[in-house]
Structures are given as C-alpha cells and as structure tokens.
Amino acid sequence: MSEKIQTIPIAKPWMGEAEAEAAKRPILAGWVTQGPEVAAFEQEFAAYVGGKYACAVSNCTTALHLALLAVGVQPGDEVITVSHSYIATANSIRYCGAIPVFVDIEPQTYNINPMLIEDVISDRTRAILVVHQMGMPCDLKVILDIARSHNLPVIEDAACAIGSEILWDGQWEKIGKPHGDIACFSFHPRKIISTGDGGMLTTNNPEWDKQFRLWRQHGMSVPDTVRHGAKQVIFESYPMLGYNYRMTDIQAAVGREQLKRLPEIVERRRYLAQQYQELLADVPGLKLPTEPSWARSNWQSFCVRLPEKCDQVQVMQAMLDVGVSTRRGIMCAHREPAYSIEPWSCGVEADACNCQPGSCQRLIESEQAQERAIILPLFHQMTEQEQERVIELLKKAC
C-alpha cells in the first residue's frame, strides 16, 4: 500500500499554547463578550499601526459596512471600488443601499488602477473604497490626491494587509495608520493573524470612532463595561438603529497574542516570498507579483499568472493530485450570480454599455487575473522542503 501524500495547505494559522492560555483568561474570569480584553486589543492594535483609534468588530465585512455608513453613504449613492476582490467588498456597499462602481486593476499588483478612477466619478459618487489586495498596498498617494480634489472620503479595505507598509513622506508606515479616512482589517484564518474571525476599524476621527462603538452594540447608549461597573442603577437607551457587530473577549485575548507574533510572521513570509521570486524566475511565461518601490507587502498571498499555454484548472488539479493546494486568482464580484441581480456599474451609462452577463469590457484585467492566476501555498510554518516541492510541482504542471 502506497504511503498517503501529506497535502501542503494554501494557508495555516500560526497559533499555540500562548493563544490557548490567553483564551482561558476571559473564560475563567466570566466576561466572555465585548469587555476588557477587547479594549486592550484595540489599544495594542492602534499602537501597532500608528493610528489614534481602533474599534474591534465581528469581522471585516461589518467593519466595511460601518465605515461606509460613517462617511455618509446612503441608498442611491455610488461608491468606487474594484470587482476584483472577495465579494464582501461589493456586498458592504449594497448593505448601505448604494451602487458599487467597478474600476479595473493594474495587472502587475492586482490593485485598483488609479488612472481609471477620475473617469467614473459622478455627482452621485460618495466615497472611494480601495483594496490592498493580497496584502500589497495600493497607490494611496495618487488615489488620495484624486479623492481630495473631489472632496471624497477614502476607505481602505485592508482585510489582508496587517503588517504591510507604505513609504509615506520618506518614512515607512504601517497600513492602517490610516492614510485614507478609515481602514478595515480581517482576522479570518486565511489572514496573517487570526482570532477565528473578527475585524477592526482604524481612524483618526474621534467622532467616527464613537459612532462605530455605538453601532456595533445595537446603538446602546451605555456600554456594558460602564453599566456593570456602576455603583448606581443605570438604564440604557437605544437612540439609533444599531447592529450586533461585537467581538468577544475570547477572540480579543487570542488576538493580543497573535499581535505579538506579527513581526516574526511578516518577516518569515517576506523571506518565503523572496524564495518564490528567485526560484520561479526561470519559468518561461510565468508572471510573478510585483512589489512597487514604495510598498512592502506582508505577502498574505503569493499570486502568479500562468503562461498562456497553461490551463488554470488543469494546473491546479495536477498539483492537488500530488498533494499541493492552490486557489484560483481573486474572484470578480460582477461575474457572480448575485450580481446578475444586484445593481452595479462600470461607469458607463446602461444604455451605452455593451457588457454581457459575466463579462465587462472595462474590467478586462480583472477578468484575466481571475482566469489566469493561481495562489500558491504560503504560511509561517512552511518549510523550505515544502516550498521546494510546490515549486517543483508547479514547474511540472506548467
């Protein structure tokens, strides 16, 4: 009987006894929902990114929803973003009743092409929602110049970008400072650090931070931490429509330990990404990701574009058959069945648009990235032998 092949996963959270012990704190203390661990995690996260305020929520999708509400996005408004992202980016816009206006990407970085933004700004545009795709910072300087000239807020979908950096006024600064108006992060298991699930908003605007904290807890006027510690009876009120977007103290306790690991995680991932760059450089037709001189990625994912002769599914299946997991290029929201029903725009008036279902002439780079790219395994515990195996099998499959 042949020996079973050990599959190399696409990703794997790096957790251990420290996280297990941390989770015990709130469990044994009896305060397991949004409480002192969440408050401590927020303070430590804000200090790490260099932002003034950080507000923890249940996941990054809820963070994006609150960010859009905070900057005033309302039903019928337009929000400029990319289709080439996880569907949560577009969905968060629809939660507000607004219309996503999709802009194509740069093929080298898989990020929004700043040169295409101004063409789709209209009198209905209320915000620009950019994505630091797969941890690679987008060109915020150019984007912010455009946004400020039109008095538009910029929200950063930094779901994948904790630990990434951008060169800002001659200094390397963390994504999430924020450089736009609000940045939103994810702690899903596929991300660099994880709390099982969870999210964070960072901003330098105290009024928005205050609003996030009200909204995330049903609009409750008095936080649980204040009510439970009060020496007199307090009745809370609910002056606004809110949401149940809270993070638990169990998650936050784990997140605090994960944050301590973050510098080591990023350093290791950058090393592994460099190894991929060097050892795959000789594969004819294979296009490797590009890191601009002003960006330092955390390499949440390592995405390669296959040679023209290669079939994406066949390559992925060939690698899976011998124990290597991959994922297709980032999805395009406009090609999903939900967005054959949900409204969206590519910036062209409907009567002048020649787009077909699942295909848009103005989003060609996004569609080709989805069809031609694959994501290779990359995680902190990955050994050099495992990486060499991935490289060898990719070369064979191509």
Residue 124 domain flag: yes
Which residue shows structure tokens 């999709």?
102
Q: Are 88 and 64 in contact (CB under 8 A)?
A: yes
pLDDT higher than 80, residue 4: no
- Give CA–CA dist 51/204, Å, rounded: 6
pLDDT higher than 90, residue 300: yes
**What's the token pair of residue 247?**
């993070």
Residue 356 domain flag: yes
Domain ranges, residue 320: 17-397
Determine the pLDDT at residue 131. 98
Average pLDDT score over residue span 236-259: 95
Torsion of CA 163, 301, 324, 388, to 10 degrees: -70
What residues contact 238, with CB distance under 8 A and at least 6 apart? 218, 219, 220, 221
Residue 378 domain flag: yes
Residue 117 domain flag: yes
93-102, 202-211, 248-257, 356-365, range with the lowest pLDDT: 356-365
Task: Kindly indicate the confidence band of residue 1, based on its pLDDT and cuts at 50, 70 and 90.
Answer: very low
Split into its structural domains, the chain has a count of 1
Closest CA to 159 of 249, 89, 261, 90: 89
pLDDT single digits (tens) 326-365:
999 999 999 999 999 999 999 877 555 667 768 899 999 9
Task: Kindly indicate the confidence band of residue 230, based on its pLDDT and cuts at 50, 70 and 90.
Answer: confident
69-83, 94-108, 172-186, 224-238, range with the lowest pLDDT: 224-238
pLDDT single digits (tens) 153-189:
999 999 999 999 999 999 999 999 999 999 999 999 9
Residue 346 domain flag: yes
Residue 7 domain flag: no
CATH number at residue 162: 3.40.640.10
Residue 12 domain flag: no
Task: Kindly indicate the confidence band of residue 69, based on its pLDDT and cuts at 50, 70 and 90.
Answer: very high
What residues contact 177, with CB distance under 8 A and at least 6 apart? 49, 50, 51, 168, 183, 202, 204
**What's the token pair of residue 111?**
């990020």
Residue 9 domain flag: no
Average pLDDT score over residue span 214-243: 84
In angstroms, the Cα distances linking 286 to 48, 135, 305, 393 are 36, 21, 6, 14
Determine the pLDDT at residue 357. 67
Q: Is 148 exposed, middle or buried (0-12, 13-18, 19+ CB in 10 A)?
A: exposed
